[in-house]
Amino acid sequence: MKLKLVSWIREAHGKSGDTVFREVNGETIVADKPGKRKEPLSDKQTEVQYRFTDARDFYRKVKLVPELLAMYEKAAEAAGKSVYMMCRKDWYSVPLVRGLELAQYHGQAGGVIKFKVQDDILAARAVVTLSDDEEGTLIEWGEAVREVEGTNFWMYTTTTAVPAGKKVAIQIEAFDYPGNTGQTSGMVHTR
């Protein structure tokens, strides 16, 4: 049953007597206070509790690092959420690496590989690895840089020339501030 809550209840958080007020997806939920557990937690339930604790600890870390706090405050304001909720959401989500552009790389040094990293907050860093697809040997790897500071657009400029006719496997790994990793890969035939 859905009820329209008066404004002071819509803004309530926490508990009052045997009633608990919490926000879920922007709505205030009113529920009975949970009772005491009679059985021990399963391994899966314990793992979920640890993940919530880890997310809370990440939020505490963000509050202590002014640069991180400013980024999370800006994202929280834009999303209409609290900084805590943004930290928790980011803790549970993995960066998505997409839009891999290989048109400016043909195996020469100075070639440019571009991609986009989508995350709740800007990605912390991205690593590009190039290897010989047939032999599996490492050609080079390095940190990508943002095309424009403060955006999700990244680029990597290659430093090693690869002989013509080789297949180069390209692996992109993006890391967010909680430490989650997203990745994508591509292939280029050198000329």
Kindly tell me if the per-residue pLDDT of 13 is higher than 80. no
User: Tokens 């939020």 sit at which residue?
Assistant: 59
Residues contacting residue 150 through CB under 8 Å, at least 6 positions apart: 122
Q: What's the rounded mean pLDDT across residues 163-183?
A: 96
State residue 10's pLDDT score.
53
Q: CA quadruple 148, 152, 157, 163: dihedral positive or negative? A: negative
| Amino acid, res. 171 | Q
Three-class DSSP category at 42:
coil
Q: How far apart are CA 153 and CA 98, in angstroms?
A: 10
Is 89 buried (19+), middle (13-18) or exposed (0-12) by CB count in 10 A?
Answer: middle
Is 70 buried (19+), middle (13-18) or exposed (0-12) by CB count in 10 A?
Answer: exposed
Q: What's the rounded mean pLDDT across residues 83-102?
A: 95
State residue 84's pLDDT score.
94
Q: What's the rounded mean pLDDT across residues 146-152?
A: 93
Q: Which domains does the chain have, with CATH numbers?
A: 7-33+42-92 (no CATH), 96-189 (2.60.40.1220)
Which pLDDT band holds residue 109 (cuts at 50, 70, 90)? very high
Q: How far apart are CA 167 and CA 187, in angstroms?
A: 7
State residue 30's pLDDT score.
81
pLDDT digits (tens, 9 = 90+) for 67-80: 999 999 999 999 99
State residue 126's pLDDT score.
98
Residue 37 backbone dihedrals phi, psi, to 5 degrees: -75, 135
Three-class DSSP category at 69:
helix
Contact criterion met (CB below 8 Å) for 82 and 76? yes
Across the chain, mean pLDDT equals 90
User: Tokens 């999303």 sit at which residue?
Assistant: 79
Which pLDDT band holds residue 8 (cuts at 50, 70, 90)? low
Locate 132 and state its tokens.
């010989």
Kindly tell me if the per-residue pLDDT of 145 is higher than 90. yes
Note the residue count of the chain.
191
Q: Give, rounded to a whole angstrom, the gap between the first and last alpha carbons of the chain.
A: 66
Which pLDDT band holds residue 14 (cuts at 50, 70, 90)? confident
Kindly tell me if the per-residue pLDDT of 15 is higher than 80. no
Which pLDDT band holds residue 34 (cuts at 50, 70, 90)? confident
Contact criterion met (CB below 8 Å) for 127 and 142? yes
pTM over 0.85: no
Q: How far apart are CA 121 and CA 142, in angstroms?
A: 22
Kindly tell me if the per-residue pLDDT of 86 is higher than 60. yes
Residue 85: alpha-carbon gap to chain centroid: 14
